[in-house]
Structures are given as structure tokens and as C-alpha cells.
Copies of this chain bind each other. A is one copy, B any other.
Amino acid sequence: MNVSIVGATGYGGLELIRFLGNHPHLEIASLHTSSQFGRNIYEENAHLMHMDYKLEEIDAEAIAKKSDIVFLATPSGVSSKLISEFCDLNIKVIDLSGDLRLQTPGEYAQWYKKEPAPQHIIEKAVYGLAEWNKEQIEQADIIANPGCYPTATLLGLAPLFTEGWATGEDVIVDAKSGVSGAGKSPTAVTHYSEMNENFKIYKVNQHQHIPEVEQQLGRWFADTKPITFNTHLVPMTRGIMATMYVKVNRQTTKAELRDLFETVYANHPFVRIQPLGQFPSTKQVYGSNFCDIGVDYDERTGRVTIVSVIDNLVKGAAGQAIQNANILMGLKETAGLWSAPLYP
């Protein structure tokens, strides 16, 4: 089966190329960018010097002829414009940006400060949280691949919200991300000398992933109240940790809580629940599609602590996109993705 990538030279696109290079069933048919036509992918990306793909213009019809799936690995505000062209063609679309995730009219404009995609297309898009939405994904024409923070957060909160433990209130998510989440364009914030040996908070109480998380929590548990959600930049390239503090509707124990998570994710190979008393570090999923989760019940406060880590560019972007492609194509969910994290 053939796939094309639009936005091939961004960090999401490059990760797709890395994984597809070893995929047993999906083959790269073409790479596309909005500039740099005619150059070879390795000319700007020296690490890919062993590969040989010419960068092409974005021509939806040509892409649809070559490929079964197109990945849109473009920044927010781009696929909202591109999506219409692909919609009527015989090709599946997996969009890695935030443009097709928010179903409620007005929310995208409010949080992204950009013009939304056509509402009728947004409504066709299936939210690609692979562990939780498999049946819908199998049938989808368009998949809105989840954001990096929402993936870590939702996989961590899901057992409470789907198994009847949630109160819907008092959900606090304190999330931390490596800098690659900010993308490939140099900025003052991501300038090495500013970011190195520094820890920053940003978009305080205003991150555009807030409504994405709340939307999915609301699907699982209708009476979900607004959550507290903040994001920080860690002086490292890859990795997200979401540390979550939640009140649940019962007294419990550390062991019972862990059992819940273990049971819920028993058949999901990419989610690895940590042993009792252990908590994941971001590096243990580095470069891989795993989401590792540790849980604790604090008897002093009655609060549950959930610690969820992913590689933001893999499970939080390209890896989950390929996982969705696998589901879509009826392949084994782990195809091309079952490799150990890079360590150390």
C-alpha cells in the first residue's frame, strides 16, 4: 500500500519518513512540501542521506492517484485549507494538525485564532485516539490525529472516565514537553541559549489542546467540568510527561487503582502500565510509540496521581498516525512501530 506525506520536511513529516522506511506494508509514494520543490529530501535533512525522494508540489489529484493514504503533517491552519481538495478524491486522509479535531463550531476559532475548516468536513473527521476509537477509525475517511498533550493526557485519564470513577470535577493536568513540540522554525523561545538550562511555562491556562481534551472527556463522561491544564517546556528535545491530579468518586488503594489501569489496557500493546510504586520517565519511551503510565493514590489527600509519558513526535504525532493507518488498512496495529525505545 502506498502513502504520501504533505509537509514532509517538518518534524512530524520526518518522523513519518523514519518509521515508514521500515514499515512492512506501507510504502512512501511521494513527499510534498509547500516550498523546496525539486530538491531531494536529504538535501535539507542530512540524516536522510541514505534515502532518495524528490520533494514535490502539493497536488491533491496526483497524490490520490499514487496513494491510498495521505498524511497531512502541516502546521495548524494549513490542512483546514487543503482538506477540501482531498475530500472528494479516493484517498484516506490522516491529519496530524489540530485543524479537524474540534467538533463544536466556534471552538477552533476561539482557541487557535484561525479560520476553521468547513464544518461539514470537520464532522466527517474521526478522532484518532487509537486505543479508544478503533471501530470508528476502521471506517473513517478522514482521521484527526490527536495532539501530543491530549494523547498523553487522555490515555492517562481514560480508565477513570470510562470505568465510572470520574466525578467530572477537579481534574488538574500539569504537562511538560520537550522542545521539538514547538516545531522546526527557529524562534526566540526555542533559541538554544535561551532554552538550555531553562524551564518555562507557556500559554498559561490558554493552551489550544484544552478543548480537545475536554471534548473527549465529555464523550466518556457527559458531566465533565472545565479542566485545569498547563504546559511547560523542558530543556530536552523529545518527550512529554503529563502529571495529573484527579479526585475520584470512591476511596481506593494504590493496588486497586493500578489494577484498574492494568485491566483497561490489557490488550493494548503500546500502553505499558508501570509496576506498583513505579513511575515512568520520558526517556523510557524515547523514539517509540509507547505510552507508559504510573498511578498512585494519596491517602492523605484522597487524590489520584496519574503520570503518563509519551514521545511527543511518535505516540504524540507520527507514530499514532501510522498506528491509525494500520487500523485503517486492516493491518496489525503494531506494524512498523514495534521497536524498542532508544536508551540511553
Indicate if the CB atoms of A237 and B17 lie closer than 8 Å.
Answer: no
Query: Which of the candidate stretches A73-81, A135-143, A282-290 sits at the interface with the other chain?
Result: A282-290
State which size class the interface on A falls in. Answer: 35 or more
Does residue A62 face the partner (Cβ distance < 8 Å to B)?
no
Instruction: Give the shortest distance, in Å, between A190 (CB) and chain B (any CB).
Output: 5
Indicate if the CB atoms of B50 and A180 lie closer than 8 Å.
Answer: no
Indicate if the CB atoms of A243 and B228 lie closer than 8 Å.
Answer: no
Indicate if the CB atoms of A343 and B286 lie closer than 8 Å.
Answer: no
Indicate if the CB atoms of B193 and A193 lie closer than 8 Å.
Answer: no
* A14-B193 Cα distance, complex, nearest whole Å: 13
* A238-B301 Cα distance, complex, nearest whole Å: 30
List of B residues within 8 angstroms of A200 by Cβ: 281-282
Query: Which of the candidate stretches A88-96, A123-131, A292-300, A322-330 sits at the interface with the other chain?
Result: A292-300
List of B residues within 8 angstroms of A190 by Cβ: 186, 191-193
* A286-B287 Cα distance, complex, nearest whole Å: 11
* CB contact between A292 and one of B49, B172, B205, B243 (< 8 Å): that residue: B49
List of B residues within 8 angstroms of A226 by Cβ: 300-301
Given the contacts A230-B305, A301-B227, A342-B18, A235 and B196 also touching, CB distance less than 8 Å: yes
List of B residues within 8 angstroms of A245 by Cβ: 172, 174, 228
Does residue A48 face the partner (Cβ distance < 8 Å to B)?
yes
List of B residues within 8 angstroms of A243 by Cβ: 174, 201, 230, 232
Does residue A198 face the partner (Cβ distance < 8 Å to B)?
yes
> How many copies make up the complex?
4
* A11-B288 Cα distance, complex, nearest whole Å: 18
Interface string of A261-301 (1 = CB under 8 A from B): 00000000100101000111111111110101010101011
* A11-B192 Cα distance, complex, nearest whole Å: 13
Does residue A194 face the partner (Cβ distance < 8 Å to B)?
yes
Does residue A307 face the partner (Cβ distance < 8 Å to B)?
yes
List of B residues within 8 angstroms of A191 by Cβ: 184-186, 190-192
Indicate if the CB atoms of A47 and B284 lie closer than 8 Å.
Answer: yes
Does residue A144 face the partner (Cβ distance < 8 Å to B)?
no
- 3 tightest A-B CB contacts, nearest first: A198-B283, A186-B186, A174-B174
Q: Given contact pairs A193-B344, A198-B236, A204-B279, enumerate 19 new A-B contacts (beta carbons under 8 Å).
A: A11-B193, A21-B338, A22-B22, A22-B338, A45-B343, A47-B340, A49-B290, A49-B292, A178-B199, A180-B344, A186-B187, A191-B192, A192-B195, A196-B235, A198-B239, A199-B283, A200-B282, A201-B294, A230-B243
